[in-house]
Structure 1
Amino acid sequence: MSNLRADWAHRPTHRRIWALAAPMIVSNVTVPLVTLTDSIVAGHLPHASQLAAVAVGGAIYQLPVFLCGFLRMGTVGFSAQACGRGDGDAMRRILLQALLLSLALAAIQLLAAVPLLQPILRMMDPTADLGGLGAAYLHVRLAGLPAALASYALAGWFLGAQNARVTVQILILTNLANIALNLLFVLGFGWGVRGIALASVIGEWGGCLFGLSRIASQLRRFPGHLHPRRLLYWAHWRPLLGVNRDILLRSVALEGVFFALTTLGARLGGPIVAANALLLNGLLLTSFALDGLANAVESVAGHAIGARQGDTLRRAMVVAGGWSLGGSLLFAATFALGGHLFVDLQTDIAAVRQVAYVYLPYLALLPMIAFPSYLFDGLFVGATRAREMRNAMVVAALAFVVAALLLRPLGNHGLWVALLVFMGVRGGAMAWTARRIARSPHGWLGQPSSA
């Protein structure tokens, strides 16, 4: 207990954690603003089909982009560990590998979009107007895909290099440019659905080009050389690709749980699925805030492992864990005391409001149960322990399935309890794995996946 108090009292660790976490939290807030602006702008167009086209096209575009989030998470740990070792050669190699991988994935997805785009739109059973507008939106929107994926790689690399400022600048520039151009192109120039898509594309390329422009100044801190011939050998690709593969599988399992939650809720009726969606926005807000602390842990943990500083790693987990606990209690109290207002701000439909009120206690419990999984995500990403993170997610997803089946007679209450079980098992499995690794002969400093 005395060690915990001493670690918590270490002021330099508090300053270091918040120097990374605070800008990430601020930048995370801009993410929902983009979706909100798209909806508001599209909602003021003359026809409902235009709003629907933006919603459908955006959902189709965001799915592959979300699944490629491993480009950021998979790069942070390797970059942070190379930074901790002061290895300038590795910093250059990791950056080039991440960018090449992002461009390869973008090329594959763009080639696949040509034959698959129309069948996907037809599968969603749109009207003729919606199908045509959705295709028009996507034809423009896909031009930003290479920039979006490259920005993931750049954001992860800069965060691992202890430069959260550039990571935040990339995200904020991308999102604010999107918002401003949305208003200009649609409300000013009257370009409609294509204008909304073009604003997103320019925002993505603007953020990407800004990130690329900051590489040279960052590398001056790490003298070294790029050895392109090393990229011809599989041994230099295997660790990065292995980590990215496991993070992708973990993301698929996570997305599957929330897709199942929505699908099963839809079978219980429209007001229930609508109420669940509103309440899950509360979980989204919680994750935006606590993910900022997890992002800080990714960077500090990876740097500490690379520099072989076990005390730094331990202090970072204690400090970030304490702030995460405090943040989760704050969100829990907010939803418990102000949950009705949170629901009312999102809808004025009486039937949906009444249903949402019933399930507010589950939303109040979620932050306290979910925060350990966010915290440990940061540790496992920084340590490039993606396999263990993937396994914990799969176990938690299976627990959700079992709980949802067993609690099916309870209706929507059963779904919410199953979600609580999922979050609890996810955090518990990661905590158990973290403890097992800490007690192993080499502990967390014995890095199995080093690039």
Structure 2
Amino acid sequence: MASRPTYPFDVRSADVWKIALPASVAFITEPMVGIVDITVIGRLGDAALLGGLVLGAIVFDFIFALAYFLRLGTAGLTAQSVGARDPKDGLMHVVRAIGLAVIIGLAMIVLSSALLWVSVVTLQPEPAVEVALAEYFQVRLLSAPFSLINYALLGWFYGRAAARTGMLLQLLIHGVNIALSIAFVYGLHWGVAGAAAGTVAGHVVAALIGLYLVARHYGGFRATLEKIVPAELVDPVALRRMFGLSRDLMIRWGALMSAYAYFAAQGSRAGEITLASNAILLNMMMVSAFFLDGLAQASEQLCGKAVGANWRPAFERATSLALTAGIAISTGLALVLYFGGPVIIDLMTTSEPVREAARHYLWLAALCAITGMPAFVYDGILTGATLNGAMRNGMLVSLVLFLGAALVMQQTMGNAGLWVALNLFFLARAGIYWWSLERRKPALFAA
């Protein structure tokens, strides 16, 4: 059997920051869009319209998150192609992902009535809110193929370490969305349909420009089409690998959402003050998580490239540098959350009991930035190495440990025990990921 070739390359600290910072800026803008949409509709003074928008946004966050594997999987596979000196630079991976995105997006549009029915049954909105939800849903669903295409395109750009281009595309999505939502709602008086139409327009514009940039990379649309070999596109081995990665990433996402859902449910059972204070702190924590996602993107690209190049020194160096950068970033985020938290809490609520409860648990929420950082870095490493089975299993085991820890600690520590369990959940993920990775490294770089 022929030995696997190696393509040595160096990894510098600058390589990590060059990907992590633009990606972090791009990811951190995502919560801003929801805030702007809520503000635009909220200022109309119609509670039903605002309720329909909020529920609609929740529905689409859930639906599109199920297809988030299109970005993660494409980024990991593309990074490996870059490392292996693939002359097509990962073209077949992004084309397969785009094809799958179109199929899933069109299927969602065809099944729109069924999806809306499930949403209404699950959320059980009041009649006026249901009308607004349906109006928002029918318009927003038109973005499905384009939104999913953007996932695939962003995966390709980030997988090639073109983080600045990925950042600009994401900023374009959000910029067009915000500008047109304001114009459609206030200028054309379209209500929630206007907010939805702004979102659709943002994704359409970004998808078209992204496709143009991909084609330009290969010398134009005609040259790109000539490089796509149908037999390679439907290669059974490649398709099985892509679908296997997709399945594992979906299971991993489901386990993560289950942990957050349990956390929210337990806060609800403890009363409205605990529920509200936990919600505020969890949203603050999520902002830091979006920022740390940029670090995960950097480790995914660099470690994936090292696996493709079959060069373990680069893999080890990328891991070390990502964790070192993570210590600096997560410590800074934790300090900002802890010292700036009281101001943010006071801006988010006027209820003194909720403010007091949130301040009491603030240090545990801020600590999540530090305890969660290694898990984010190893998320990226395992995705880049396409060890998604290890990541899936690690997440499932961590979920069981979290549920057990929360059950025990809440009995003695109350809500503080729930927050401690969440910190332990992050640490357990990182520990299990590290152990799984160490066992698989020899096979990753076998001659």
TM band (smaller chain):
over 0.9
For 1:66 and 1:91, locate their aligned partners in 2 and report how far apart those are by CA, in whole Å. Answer: 23
Q: Which moved more, 1:392-401 or 1:97-106?
A: 97-106
- Aligned residues of 2:112 and 2:138 also touching (Cα < 8 A): no
CA distance in 1, matches of 2:420, 2:323: 25
Alignment of 1:108-123 (within 5 A): 108-123=107-122
Q: For residue 427 of structure 2, what is the aligned residue in structure 1?
A: 424
Equivalent in the alignment of 1:4: none
**Poorly superposed stretches of 4+, deviation over 6 Å:** 221-224
- Equivalent residues in 2 for 1:40-439, closer than 5 Å: 40-89=39-88, 91-220=90-219, 225-409=227-411, 410-438=413-441
Q: CA deviation at 1:188?
A: 2.3
Code of the residue aligned with 1:434 in structure 2: it is L
* Secondary structure at the counterpart of residue 68 of structure 1: coil
Task: Give the deviation of 1:220 after TM superposition.
Answer: 4.9
Name the stretch that deviates more: 386-395 or 231-240. 231-240
Q: Label 1:90 to 1:239 Cα distance change in 2 as closer, same or farther (>3 A).
A: farther
**CA-to-aligned-CA distance 1:352-384 (integer Å, 9 cap, x gap):** 101111111211221121110001111111111
Q: 1:183 to 1:370 in 2, by over 3 A?
A: same
Moved more, 64-73 or 183-192: 183-192
Whole-angstrom CA distance in 2 between matches of 1:372 and 1:406: 25
Listed one character per residue, the Cα deviations across residues 194-227 of structure 1 (whole Å, up to 9, x for unaligned) are: 1001000001111111110101222359999321
Tell me the distance in 2 between the aligned counterparts of 1:351 and 1:283. Answer: 20
> Which whole-Å deviations, capped at 9, do the CAs of 1:389-432 have from their partners, x for residues lacking one?
11110011011111122223233122112211211111111111
Partner of 1:19: 18
Shift of 1:38: 0.7
AA aligned opposite 1:264: Q
TM-score of the superposition, structure 2-length normalised? 0.93
- Tell me by how many angstroms 1:436 deviates: 2.1
For the 8 Å contact 1:347–1:353, the answer to whether it is kept is yes
What is the one-letter code of the residue matched to 2:244? G
CA RMSD in angstroms, aligned pairs only: 2.1
Residue 31 of structure 2 corresponds to residue 32 of structure 1: yes
**C-alpha deviation, 1:89, in angstroms:** 4.1
Name the counterpart of 1:445. 445
Contact map agreement 2:11 2:318 (CA 8 A) in 1: no
| CA distance in 2 between partners of 1:11 and 1:383 (Å) | 17
- Counterpart-to-counterpart distance in 2, 1:25 and 1:446: 33
The answer (yes or no) to whether the contact 1:122–1:131 under 8 Å persists in 2 is no
Count of matched residue pairs: 435
CA contact (8 A) 2:285 2:366 kept: no
Q: Distance in 2 between matches of 1:220 and 1:76?
A: 22
Partner Cα distance (2:343, 2:152) in 1: 39
SS of alignment partner, residue 191 of structure 1: coil
Cα 1:347–1:376 shift into 2, 3 Å: same
Does the Cα contact within 8 Å between 1:118 and 1:135 map onto a contact in 2? no
Gaps of 5+ in 2: 1-8
Decide whether aligned partners of structure 1 residues 116 and 163 sit closer, same or farther in structure 2, where only a CA change above 3 A counts.
Answer: closer
Secondary structure at the residue paired with 1:45?
A: coil
Tell me by how many angstroms 1:333 deviates. 2.2
Per-residue deviation at 1:90?
A: 6.7
**Aligned equivalents of 1:180, 1:174: Cα separation in 2:** 10
